[in-house]
Structure 1
Amino acid sequence: MSASSRSCAVVLLLVCVYVVYLLIGALVFWALEKPREEKVRAELNLLKHQLLSNMSCIDLSTLEHLLETLMKANKYGVSLVKNNSENSNWDLASALFFSNTLVTTIGYGHTTPLSDEGKAFSIVYGVIGVPFTMLVLTACVQRLMVPLNLRPVTSWRRRFGWHPRTASTMHFVLLLLLVIVMFFVVPAVVFSIIEDSWSFLEAFYFCFISLCTIGLGDFVPGEQDNQKLRPLYKISVMVYLFLGLIAMYFVLRSFHKLADVHGWTAFFHLPSCDDEGEIRNEDASEGPNECETDTKPLEPSAGVSYNSISK
């Protein structure tokens, strides 16, 4: 197996382990949070029935207790108005979605752990998951830099005779436009169709807030009543967020490369992008180096003698 194939296999293994890690987190959150959510849901329904049965003489303390319970439940993502048995914040798909937003640092905040055990596990899970996520994203982007950045720029320079700055700038502009269309415009159209209450601007805003890992939580997909195929929808959004984060990180790496070519990193005394070493290593793994071929030790029979020197 060549070095390039071995490197791709390692990245694929990392992604697989990452998916397994998300599944483990989802199962733990599901087991910890689902019973607590059902208990809060039962308390809300009980208070609601008590209020309706005593409509003519509502007790002030009961009403205050109801409001206090409603506010506390709303903090954990449980609503009395829109609450139903089909929409759970801690089913397997929702727990997987929460695990993904936790380790990617997006953190919408619409759903938070109810139990102390869940809060404690979030700390441990995040301590391991956040750097692991960064490692997976870095490994994926590192493998994409050569075929999607360095080779196109080198090809354009050879074919059109462009200056390195011109080729790098053109590549970055095209890359930025492609990412905006594929990960912002198209998903925004899809979200505005699926989410009835979202306009295109709101959907575009959600994509931007999410892929920049800001995660304000004012717009969260899959929270409508009776959402069709909600588990599949949640998992699809999770895959979109992961691929979108790779694209955003790739744009940042490409901008770093562009800054190197234009001398901006040197001007600001920042570390330069070392992608040239990557392509040299890959080329070296694909075939023998010309310099190594030329500097092979001479055979004994090919030794130079004084008689061979032209006089």
Structure 2
Amino acid sequence: MSTSSRSCVVVLVLVFVYVVYLLIGACVFSALEKPLEEKVRAEMNLLKQQLISNMSCINISTLEDLLEKLINANKYGVSLVQNTSENSNWDLASALFFSNTLVTTIGYGHTTPLSDAGKAFSIAYALIGVPFTMLVLTACVQRLIMPLNLRPVAYWRRRFGWHPHTASTVHFVLLLLLIIVLFFLLPAIVFSVIEDSWSFLEAFYFCFISLCTIGLGDFVPGEQPNQKFRPLYKISVMVYLFLGLMAMYFVLRSFHKLADVQGWTAFFHLPSCDDDGEEEIESTSEEPNVCETDTKPLDPSARVSYNSISR
């Protein structure tokens, strides 16, 4: 089998496995969530019937209209269930938090623009902000590759004589453990303490959903009534999200580097990760520049003259 044919087969297998993976996830989510959705729907219908039976003076169409408006208002982040009048969704800190989730593509969806002008501005703002955010993250991670990836691996190879496969694998495992502790476990503990209604599992779930830019929006920090230091809390979460996204991107780059060393990218016919400065770390001497010419003048006897041409 030729290289191109093998590459096509590998891609087709990957696409097939991806489709199967999506189907398995759909089946599992449907099996887990559909019974609970039906239970909640039945409870809501029961409450609705009890309200109608106890208060016969209520017009059914008016009640339906009220429920529809409440649902739509809750979709835009306006809730009347609790006393949330003190917490605005569009004060400076909240608007800054919304802008951050917009350009980082996390998009919790708990707050969305109400006006047409806000929707139009969101399009223009994200059109520029999303690629600019990716550029900033890429630039930051690129500066961290040398001190946090290449140099530790090169040091372990020189110090312990490890094979590149071993050094790269150990580095990636340690890096992954450090990222899990710093950006998942510790923040989950902090969120579970600050957010009274969150368990540790729910806080860890929020960290994972956020840093993977999934952003389901079922858990959003700083939305409970009478939240203390809410503006400072929102800004702190923004900083955490940016640093966490940068850490996740750094893990992906490190994994790409590990795949190069282990030969996985070559096996799947993927482009390699060419890190700037890798040659500086791995090589101890530079090759002479072939473009440089000797500036020493030639010997006069070695110069070609017209008389030296054979006739």
Fold in common (TM above 0.5): yes
Please state how far the C-alpha of 1:59 moved relative to its aligned partner.
3.9
Is 1:165 matched with 2:160? no
Is 1:131 matched with 2:131? yes
Amino acid at match of 1:130: V
Q: 1:81-96 alignment to 2 at 5 Å?
A: 81-96=81-96
2:12 maps to none
2:252 maps to 252
Contact 2:150 2:281 in 1 (8 A): no
2:69 maps to 69
1:140 maps to 140
TM-score (norm 2): 0.73
Is 1:203 matched with 2:199? no
Please state how far the C-alpha of 1:69 moved relative to its aligned partner.
1.6
Q: 5+ unaligned residues in a row in structure 2: which ranges? A: 1-54, 303-311
1:237 maps to 237
Q: 5+ unaligned residues in a row in structure 1: which ranges? A: 1-54, 307-311
Please state how far the C-alpha of 1:278 moved relative to its aligned partner.
2.9
Contact 2:151 2:281 in 1 (8 A): no
- Taking the aligned partners of 2:121 and 2:290, their CA distance within structure 1 comes to 59
Of Structure 1 and Structure 2, the greater helix share is in: 1
In structure 2, the CA distance between the partners of 1:296 and 1:63, relative to structure 1 (3 Å rule), is closer
Q: How many residues align?
A: 247
Is 1:79 matched with 2:79? yes
Please state how far the C-alpha of 1:66 moved relative to its aligned partner.
2.0
Q: 1:283-298 alignment to 2 at 5 Å?
A: 290-292=286-288
Please state how far the C-alpha of 1:280 moved relative to its aligned partner.
4.0
Please state how far the C-alpha of 1:72 moved relative to its aligned partner.
1.4
- Taking the aligned partners of 2:126 and 2:290, their CA distance within structure 1 comes to 52
- Taking the aligned partners of 1:59 and 1:166, their CA distance within structure 2 comes to 73
CA RMSD of aligned residues (A): 2.7
Is 1:156 matched with 2:149? no
- Taking the aligned partners of 1:300 and 1:117, their CA distance within structure 2 comes to 72
In structure 2, the CA distance between the partners of 1:290 and 1:259, relative to structure 1 (3 Å rule), is closer
Q: Which has the larger radius of gyration?
A: 2
- Taking the aligned partners of 1:104 and 1:83, their CA distance within structure 2 comes to 30
TM-score (norm 1): 0.73
- Deviations 1:156-178 (CA, angstroms, capped at 9, x unpaired): 00000000000000000000000
Contact 2:154 2:282 in 1 (8 A): no
1:278 maps to 277
Please state how far the C-alpha of 1:68 moved relative to its aligned partner.
2.0
- Taking the aligned partners of 2:140 and 2:296, their CA distance within structure 1 comes to 48
- Taking the aligned partners of 2:264 and 2:95, their CA distance within structure 1 comes to 43
